[in-house]
């Protein structure tokens, strides 16, 4: 490393910024997040900086700049916007023994400013030693989405109680206490906005000499993995993966999604392949329940959204009958991902005012649905896992009076690298799917035109 990462104590120390324009204002915004005393060196200040001086949040030195202004400082920023003047001020600041950052001149920097994720008092600093600031900003964005906005205030609450913990909780129980604090009921209460409840839970546990005895039962989260791309997971889904002791996942879950889980979580493949009985639903229910009853945090990871053709009812009922806590974490469903792939919304004002989600894959013994009854004028009919029945669907819809020119979009493996898109008319659908070699996972999206009703009447008349 060319730069050593560390955090400097800033409370009551001087930070000097040489410059009065936008570059200086950018650095001032950073400094004002700390408890440092800020001094601005410039003949004139732009409006934002002048307002800071007027409010008493910064001191302004408009006169000549000498080494005296840079003496006894924690940090100096030079940001005049003029390369020549910046270099001259750098030399003066160095003579005064200051640690200096010259904006946009890495060769003149003793220190660089990282990208910061601020959850005060939790602070994450990201640096690339000046080589890739765009990458640092990208990482900052990723971390901003991962760290709950309430994390800082909860960490501050825990910090205020540290002395009480040291007095009342025996040393051999403190690790379990803090683990419970940040992973269990107190944190869950705080992040949903119940700060008082979180504080009461912590204070009661301290008074009792430690964290409550954990239940013998674990918990189950039915988590939607979305259509494939891991950056389409919800923040809650990522959080559950990082908390899980064991993850049961389907064959349609992208391996990249599993990389978001904590490293020591056990991963169990329970993918059901058509034509086999290796993992029937009752066996999946059994192994998921057994893990939860052993006290583990269980994630049942399903592609798409668990509530949409995800067999969630059976797993929910099994958990509830056993008294095991269970939740659903929704995911992006294939219909939404397919619409995004087409750059076309699911609904369209004046054209498509309803969406029907149905399936082409039914239980053995179930009758064939009448898809034509669902294809109402001005609606979008989305069939999941139906390409293997494309000929049957096509005949049913045409016989039910849908016009041959009805628009059809077929999207396979939406959001994956091998995504396929086919657009055709209804009367060409089955042949076109066969010709292009499209297979499941895929959705058929049939846009039923407004004139479908009159077309049906003409057929019957």
Domain boundaries, the chain: 14-146, 151-207, 219-332, 336-460
Task: Record the tokens describing residue 406, joined without a space.
Answer: 């009805």
What backbone phi and psi angles, to 5 degrees, belong to 224?
-80, 120
Beta strand pairing call for 219-224 and 297-302: parallel
Picking from 209, 190, 205, the residue whose alpha carbon sits closest to that of residue 152 is 190
- 330: which residues sit within 8 A by CB, 6+ positions away? 224, 234, 305, 306, 307
pLDDT at 91: 96
CB 387 within 8 A of CB 438: yes
Q: How many Cβ atoms sit within 10 Å of the Cβ of residue 165?
A: 18
**Cβ-Cβ contacts under 8 Å for 180 (sequence gap 6 or more):** 186, 205, 211, 212, 214
- Which entry of 94, 191, 203, 272 is annotated as an active-site residue? 272
- Has 305 been annotated as catalytic? no
Edge-first strand listing for the sheet containing 37-41: 59-61, 37-41, 14-18, 75-78, 100-102
Q: The domain at 336-460 falls in which architecture?
A: 2-Layer Sandwich (3.30)
Pick the CATH number of 219-332 from 3.40.1010.10, 3.30.930.10, 3.30.413.10, 1.10.150.240: 3.40.1010.10
Q: Do domains 14-146 and 336-460 have the same CATH topology?
A: no
Q: What is the DSSP string of 287-323?
A: HHHHHHHTT-EEEEEESB-TTTTS-HHHHHHHHHHTT
Query: Which DSSP symbol is given to 414?
Result: T
Residue by residue, pLDDT tens for the chain (461 residues) are 888 888 999 999 999 999 999 999 999 999 999 999 999 999 999 999 999 999 999 999 999 999 999 999 999 999 999 999 999 999 999 999 999 999 989 889 999 888 899 999 999 999 888 788 899 999 999 898 888 899 999 999 999 999 999 999 999 899 889 989 998 889 988 988 889 999 999 999 999 999 987 555 688 999 999 998 989 999 889 989 988 999 999 888 888 899 999 888 999 998 765 444 467 888 889 999 999 988 888 999 999 999 999 888 989 999 899 888 899 999 999 999 999 999 999 999 888 999 999 998 776 667 778 899 999 999 999 999 999 999 999 999 999 999 999 999 999 999 998 999 999 999 999 999 999 999 999 999 999 988 766 666 665 65
Compute CA 59 distance to the chain's CA centroid, rounded to the nearest angstrom: 41
**Which CATH number does the domain 14-146 belong to among 3.40.50.10380, 3.40.50.720, 1.10.3660.10, 3.40.640.10?**
3.40.50.720
* Residue tagged active-site, from 27, 86, 250, 389: 250
Token digits for 334?
A: 């294939």
Maximum Cα–Cα distance for the chain, whole Å?
97
| Strand partners for 424 | 408
Does the annotation count 250 as an active-site position? yes
Tokens of 328: 């659903």
Query: Which residues are within 8 A (CB) of 62 and not within 5 positions of it... i.e. 6 or more apart?
Result: 42, 43, 44
334, 452, 454, 456 from 376: Cα distances, Å: 21, 8, 12, 11
The pLDDT value given to residue 454? 65
């Amino acid at each position: 490393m060319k730069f050593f990462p560390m955090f400097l104590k800033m409370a009551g120390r001087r930070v000097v910024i040489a410059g009065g324009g936008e570059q200086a204002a950018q650095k001032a915004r950073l400094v004002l997040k700390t408890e440092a005393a800020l001094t601005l060196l410039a003949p004139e200040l732009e409006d934002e900086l002048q307002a800071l001086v007027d409010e008493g949040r910064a001191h302004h030195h408009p006169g000549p700049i000498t080494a005296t202004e840079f003496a006894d400082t924690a940090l100096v920023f030079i940001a005049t916007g003029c390369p020549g003047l910046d270099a001259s001020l750098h030399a003066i600041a160095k003579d005064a023994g200051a640690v200096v950052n010259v904006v946009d001149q890495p060769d003149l920097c003793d220190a660089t400013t990282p990208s910061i994720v601020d959850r005060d008092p939790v602070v994450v600093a990201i640096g690339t030693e000046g080589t890739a600031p765009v990458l640092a900003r990208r990482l900052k964005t990723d971390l901003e989405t991962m760290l709950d906005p309430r994390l800082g205030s909860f960490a501050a609450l825990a910090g205020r109680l540290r002395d009480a913990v040291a007095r009342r909780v025996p040393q051999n129980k403190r690790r379990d206490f803090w683990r419970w604090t940040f992973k269990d009921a107190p944190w869950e209460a705080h992040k949903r906005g119940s700060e008082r409840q979180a504080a009461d839970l912590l204070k009661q546990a301290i008074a009792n000499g430690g964290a409550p005895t954990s239940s013998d039962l674990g918990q189950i989260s039915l988590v939607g993995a979305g259509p494939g791309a891991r950056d389409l997971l919800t923040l809650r889904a990522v959080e559950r993966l990082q908390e899980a002791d064991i993850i049961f996942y389907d064959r349609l879950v992208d391996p990249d999604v599993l990389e978001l889980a904590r490293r020591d979580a056990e991963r169990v493949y329970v993918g059901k392949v058509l034509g086999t009985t290796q993992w029937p639903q009752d066996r999946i229910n059994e192994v998921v329940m057994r893990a939860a009853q052993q006290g583990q945090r269980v994630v049942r990871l399903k592609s798409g959204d668990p509530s949409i053709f995800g067999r969630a009812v059976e797993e929910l009922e099994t958990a509830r009958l056993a008294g095991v806590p269970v939740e659903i974490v929704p995911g992006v469903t294939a219909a939404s991902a397919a619409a995004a792939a087409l750059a076309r919304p699911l609904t369209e004002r004046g054209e498509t005012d309803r969406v029907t989600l149905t399936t082409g894959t039914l239980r053995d013994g179930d009758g064939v649905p009448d898809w034509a009854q669902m294809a109402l004028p001005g609606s979008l009919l989305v069939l999941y896992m139906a390409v293997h029945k494309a000929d049957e669907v096509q005949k049913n819809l045409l016989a039910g009076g849908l016009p041959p020119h009805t628009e059809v979009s077929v999207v396979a493996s939406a959001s994956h690298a091998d995504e396929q898109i086919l657009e055709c008319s209804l009367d060409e659908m089955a042949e076109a799917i066969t010709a292009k070699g499209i297979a499941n996972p895929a959705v058929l999206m049939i846009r039923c035109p407004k004139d479908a009703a009159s077309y049906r009447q003409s057929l019957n008349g």
